[in-house]
Amino acid sequence: MEDRTALVTGAAGGIGAATARALAAEGIRVAAVDVAEDRLAAEAARLRAGGLPVTAFPADVTDAGRVEATVAAVEHELGPIGLLVNAAGVLRTGPALDLGDADWSSTFAVNTTGVMHVSRAVVSRMVPRRRGAVVTVASNAGFVARQGMAAYGASKAAAIMFTKSLALEVARYGIRCNVVAPGSTDTPMLRGMWAGGDGASVTIGGDPDAYKVGIPLRKIADPSDIADAVVFLLSDRAGHITMHDLTVDGGATLGA
């Protein structure tokens, strides 16, 4: 995968930052995109200080015009984008009947519409080059019901199906699109859901009252675990894989 350019959204932290780091370690030029400009700049600077080719491009994936301009800037500065990772995401929790319109709209704006904006801008440029690979980072909540996560799960389910449908349409051009569906991963998003100091043990052990099994591997994923799966699906080693949904959750969804 050397001498290619990758665009990674949500790259200021968590899974997005881990993926940017993993791709750059493979010799790939990485355009790191995130709406959190200060955190993105700090993360990119830290990676560059380690000798990794990462450049920050602040952008809001919910803004179609900004996305198009950013993608154009990346191609001008770093070269044709051959790899795309849609890792930007937000979480709004709460009972489905209590969800406000703003929470619902903002969740879909980033997790679903943002995926469409970035994929459209990048893949439309891949088509005439007849080459490229896309991975959307979704969630196992996109196909297994979770209490208090109706908006998040629905948005991820939509992102999964958008990515697979896009994959079907662009397969004739040699472009592959796949999904990585993480489970509980040690990120600020997960830690923000923990009510007390025993959040990790509860996550691993499960919650029968919420109809949620635990994690059979008895551990929470590190962001690098998810990044490794993303890098594999982007690589030529996965050259005959498309429209696939790779679940990385330690068995939490029991193979569903």
> Same domain for 152 and 202?
no
- Half-sphere exposure in the Cβ direction for 89 (13 Å, CA): 28
> Same domain for 130 and 202?
no
255 found inside a domain:
no
Closest CA to 230 of 158, 176, 180: 180
Whether 20 shows a pLDDT value over 70: the answer reads yes
> Same domain for 80 and 153?
yes
Cβ atoms 7, 71 nearer than 8 A: yes
For 95, the domain range is 5-183+223-247
Instruction: Return the higher-pLDDT residue of 256 and 31.
Output: 31
In whole angstroms, give the CA distance from residue 10 to residue 136. 11
In this prediction, residue 2 carries a pLDDT of 63
> Same domain for 62 and 109?
yes
> Same domain for 57 and 178?
yes
Task: Give the residue numbers annotated as catalytic, written as ranges.
Answer: 152
Cβ atoms 204, 215 nearer than 8 A: yes
**How remote is the C-alpha of 26 from its chain's centroid?**
19
254 found inside a domain:
no
> Same domain for 168 and 199?
no
CA distances in angstroms from 3 to 6, 53, 81, 156, listed in the order given: 10, 11, 11, 31
- At 208 the three-state DSSP class reads helix
Whether 151 shows a pLDDT value over 80: the answer reads yes
CATH number, domain with residue 95: 3.40.50.720
Cβ atoms 70, 57 nearer than 8 A: yes
Cβ atoms 89, 137 nearer than 8 A: yes
> Same domain for 80 and 128?
yes
Cβ atoms 28, 53 nearer than 8 A: yes
In this prediction, residue 104 carries a pLDDT of 97
* DSSP code at position 110: I
The runs of H, that is alpha helices, within the chain are 14-25, 37-49, 64-78, 101-108, 114-129, 150-170, 188-191, 199-205, 223-234
122 found inside a domain:
yes
When computed from its CA atoms, the radius of gyration of the chain, rounded to whole angstroms, is: 17
In this prediction, residue 87 carries a pLDDT of 98
158 found inside a domain:
yes
- At 158 the three-state DSSP class reads helix
Widest distance between CA atoms in the chain: 53
Confidence of residue 141 (pLDDT cuts 50, 70, 90): very high
- Mean pLDDT throughout 162-182? 98
> Same domain for 153 and 237?
yes
In whole angstroms, give the CA distance from residue 181 to residue 139. 4
| Average of per-residue pLDDT values in the chain | 96
Whether 80 shows a pLDDT value over 70: the answer reads yes
Cβ atoms 248, 233 nearer than 8 A: no
Q: What is the pLDDT of residues 21-68, one digit of tens each?
A: 999 999 999 999 999 999 999 999 999 999 999 999 999 999 999 999
> Same domain for 130 and 193?
no
> Same domain for 79 and 149?
yes
25 found inside a domain:
yes
252 found inside a domain:
no
Q: What is the pLDDT of residues 194-246, one digit of tens each?
A: 776 688 888 899 999 999 999 999 999 999 999 999 999 999 999 999 999 99
> Same domain for 87 and 214?
no
256 found inside a domain:
no
36 found inside a domain:
yes
In this prediction, residue 188 carries a pLDDT of 85
> Same domain for 196 and 127?
no
In this prediction, residue 199 carries a pLDDT of 83
Whether 1 shows a pLDDT value over 70: the answer reads no
- Half-sphere exposure in the Cβ direction for 220 (13 Å, CA): 15
In this prediction, residue 193 carries a pLDDT of 77
Number of domains in the chain: 2
